[in-house]
Chain A
Amino acid sequence: MPNIAVFIEQRAGQIKQVAWQMLSEARHLVDAHGGEVWGVHWHAADCDVSTTAGRYGAHKVVTATAPEFERYDSELWTQALAQFVQQHKPDLLLIGSTAMGKDLAPRLAARLRTACISDAVGLSWEDGLVVKRPVYAGKCFAHVTARSVCPVVGIRPNAFALRETGDTAAAVVFKPVLDASRARASVTAVETAAAGKAALTEAEIVVSGGRGIKGPENYRLIEDLAGALGAAAGASRAIVDAGWVDYSHQVGQTGKTVAPNLYVACGISGAIQHLAGMSSSKCIVAINKDPAAPIFKVADYGIAGDLFAVLPALTEAVREFKR
């Protein structure tokens, strides 16, 4: 009979989509096993997330407002979440495996001396919690159990579908006592990427280019298709190492792990280290002139053709459908 708490992350006032995904999944779990879903959220200014959180399944939302919550600080966020856990005693705490979540979850778990399991893609409740997560870069799944009260589980963005099964959530005020003198590493500036560029790890569609694009000037073909699809642009390591695009675009074992609804691999051979970062995408399209390229083994749709002919036509056709 678990009570599941979900951390509703906001950055610069924007709430991460993974928060609603976690609430949806948590609600699904408690509907089968009893218990409640609690959102936990804070902000620098008053902000009511209880309507949306309720819609995705939260029974109540515990909210705090304080000027310290303007900008992420691992120490202050850990203090607040630790106090939330101590006061409300959930049986499980879910945190999105985002840049913030990966910083916050292990620190919180170490402070509370509780189990920490990251990048989960499945949750079940058998005799207790069982967490499914990819290991060995997605080559298999580990099914992990925890031996402590209130394990902290990180949830991979896009792993769970949104379900509007809830109603309105009750808002509960929470007043953490923050000791700002303990904050040490602090964010002094935030540089935002150009507007309209979707973040790779959160995008619903990713279009990636590999060495098949022949040179940096042709990455534009990838960006054009991405633009038409409203997608983020990714890359293989080969073209990152060649200096054609920035490392922030790299998908794979030593790059980003993505699990979008659609992944389009263009001129990418499908090396095991690249597959590590994208093989759990829901639909995979491969465009490669070599019909024997390993990428076709994981693809759902393939074109064995020249990307220089395929991509412009595909971009145009997508624009047609969107019109």
Chain B
Amino acid sequence: MKIAVCVKQVPDSEVRLNLPGPVPELDRSAFTMVINPYDQFAVEEAVRIKERLGHGDITAVTVGPAAKVREMLKKDCLAVGCDRAVIVDDAALAGADPLAVAEVLAAVLRRDRYDLVLCGIKAIDDDSSQVGVMLAELLDWPHVGYIGSLDITGDGLTARREIEGGVEVVASPLPCVLTCGKGLNEPRLPSLPNIMKAGMKPVEVIDCAGLGLTPPAPLTAVKEYTPPPPRGACVMITADDDAAAARELARRLHEEAKII
């Protein structure tokens, strides 16, 4: 089984933006960068599939500047069980939108022919939730999204995915794109010796021309970023005791906020 995992480097979830007002561009230079948390579930699932089957080869693929993503690939992908990595590094992709990224990833995946591709359900910076599904469409493959459990059976798979008010059981042939969320598994941590050994695993760096691809032009652009509207001060409800405070809260929600 040849598996590819698409991983993106994103700002750490603790990052604070503190925008003074509307800005045309976010200054990302001071952000601590990490692997997208959802992509960790995808990496872990790929490694577990390989372990269960007893064979397989896992490639981590990322689109981003090689100088920045190398360490992430080593520590979060190669040291936990991926066999190799591909970095697509091309300055022309700086403003890439999800469809453009999906086109680049599709070019890599077509070239190397995989049986299964795992992505995260979304990247926690742009919060798009698009790349995995678009990738499936561009490859003309099926896609199963938001999977909560997975069972690979020979030439197909069965997955469960959460929908509003229930769960869908989905069966799909291979090859297939899966998007992974929390709840699927508990990602393992890399051990020090494995991080050392990961340095020996092959990492290919390539650009769009190397893939025979004209850098795809983005179809969307961000005009500006604005801070969220400030919230009013919190009304602290005080009363003789907690139960009285609760009753006062209920009254205010009923009379002032008119919610209950």
Contacts and interface: CB of A to CB of B under 8 A. Distances in A.
A262 B130 CA distance: 29
The DSSP consensus for interface residues of chain A is: mixed
Nearest to A237: B182
Nearest to B106: A110
A75 B165 contact: no
A103 interface: yes
Contacts of A139: 15-17, 228
Given A102-B145, A188-B170, A190-B167, A309 B242 contact: yes
A147 B217 CA distance: 10
Given A116-B99, A301-B234, A303-B245, A285 B253 contact: yes
A111 B137 contact: yes
A218 interface: no
Contacts of B252: 301
Contacts of A116: 98-99, 130, 134, 219-220
A248 B162 contact: yes
Interface of B: 11, 13-17, 19, 26, 37-38, 97-99, 102, 124-131, 133-134, 136-138, 141-146, 148, 158, 161-173, 176, 181-183, 218-228, 231-232, 234-237, 241-247, 249-254, 257, 259-260
Interface stretch (A31-39, A158-166, A208-216, A249-257): A249-257
Contacts of A322: 260
Given A110-B102, A300-B257, A135 B125 contact: yes
The 3 closest A-B pairs by CB, nearest first: A247-B183, A317-B250, A309-B242
A250 B162 CA distance: 13
A288 to B, nearest CB: 11
27 contacts: A16-B164, A98-B164, A100-B163, A102-B133, A102-B145, A102-B146, A115-B99, A133-B127, A135-B126, A143-B226, A151-B219, A184-B176, A185-B143, A185-B171, A187-B168, A188-B170, A254-B182, A255-B182, A262-B253, A302-B234, A302-B237, A303-B237, A303-B246, A309-B241, A314-B249, A317-B251, A322-B260
